[in-house]
Amino acid sequence: VLGPAVELIAQKHCSLGIQPEHYPIVGKNLLEAIQEVMGEAATPEILAAVGEAYGLLADVCIKREAEIYEQQREAAGGWNGYRSFVVDRKVQESDEVFSFYLRPADGGAIPDYLPGQYITVKIDHPITPTSPRNYSLSDQPGGDCFRISVKRENPLTTNAPAGLISNYLHESVNEGDTLEIGPPCGEFTLTAADPGRPVVLIAGGIGVTPLMSMAKWLATNQPQRPVIVIQAARNSRVQALTNEITELANSNSQFEQRLLYSNPEGNDAERCDAVGLLQPEHLQEGTPLDEAEFFVCGPKAFMTCVLDQLQTLGVDETRLHYEFFGPKQELAPATVG
């Protein structure tokens, strides 16, 4: 029953280097917090029950994390913790997105990874100490370097410390610089899908990054599998990696690309398939709703809307897969304002 939740937690913990000795610290403070909030209602029986439940979950997580750490360590080119990578190339993809091509500083190999996974970037920010960041790998596995494509978040329009590291990467990290990188992690991968079904990849904004890795892998390894890529962006000025999707569609008859602009500029309306927000008809027309596996990634509001529409159209939950950039959140049904 706890399997999917444990896998999500374990992958995130391993991306941040969580160790077994950290669990008792969390457990002690958890029980003290419960007692402080509940007061006399936190009876010895309740605290004992919570402690027992926490201990059980901790044991399950520690066991799974040990397996992941071993897999990372034993993989060809693999490692635990952090490893130095040099920025081999820095490429501007749009007004908001730069791609960073990262090559091991030691000249060694990099491990294979599953399309959809992410790596961890640890930066000692010169002004504001902060936690490491996870960035999806935006290229298919099998190369000699990692690629991440980072959207520059505006700290004036997001809650701090949002934008701190993305702005630092855009402004201060250049070709030849070195970054500390953690090994690939994450459970949002194609392995969650039935390999015999068509695939529909639905991206909102920078959510295209893990889906780009999936699309390229599918084109290379399963070229006969029907794939539809639906990319929603404000306009062509801020969209990223669209040309790579177009190349896949032009070279493979099983690939279909659909592009939507919510706030088109210039001749965008002529270049896209639809103008406005993603609507049920955009998902329904020409889409194998009864059999396809759906992978969705983007802002919370976007995913809430898309998943609600897909369920309304009859897509079973077992064929819906989605990824958050940040802590796992509840997706409440979309509401019309």
Question: Which of the residues are catalytic?
Answer: 23, 65
What gap in Å lies between CA 75 and CA 308, rounded to an integer?
39
CA angle, corner 314, sides to 313 and 320, nearest 5?
Answer: 100
What gap in Å lies between CA 13 and CA 187, rounded to an integer?
12
CA angle, corner 266, sides to 203 and 138, nearest 5?
Answer: 25
In this structure, are residues 2 and 54 in contact, taking their beta carbons and an 8 Å threshold? no
In this structure, the strands spanning 199-204 and 227-233 are parallel
In this structure, the strands spanning 146-151 and 255-261 are unpaired
Residue showing tokens 């699309």: 215
Q: Which of 295, 292, 98 is nearest to 186 (CA)?
A: 295
What gap in Å lies between CA 69 and CA 61, rounded to an integer?
12
What gap in Å lies between CA 141 and CA 62, rounded to an integer?
28
Amino acid 94 reads S
- Taking phi over 0 as left and psi of -120 to 50 as alpha, with beta for the rest, 125 belongs to beta
Spatial neighbors of 306 by CB under 8 A, at least 6 apart, are 202, 204, 278, 283, 296, 298
311's tokens: 């369920």
What gap in Å lies between CA 183 and CA 193, rounded to an integer?
23
Residue showing tokens 């177009």: 246
Q: Write out the H or E segment, with its range, that includes residue 261.
A: strand 255-261
CA angle, corner 151, sides to 149 and 154, nearest 5?
Answer: 165
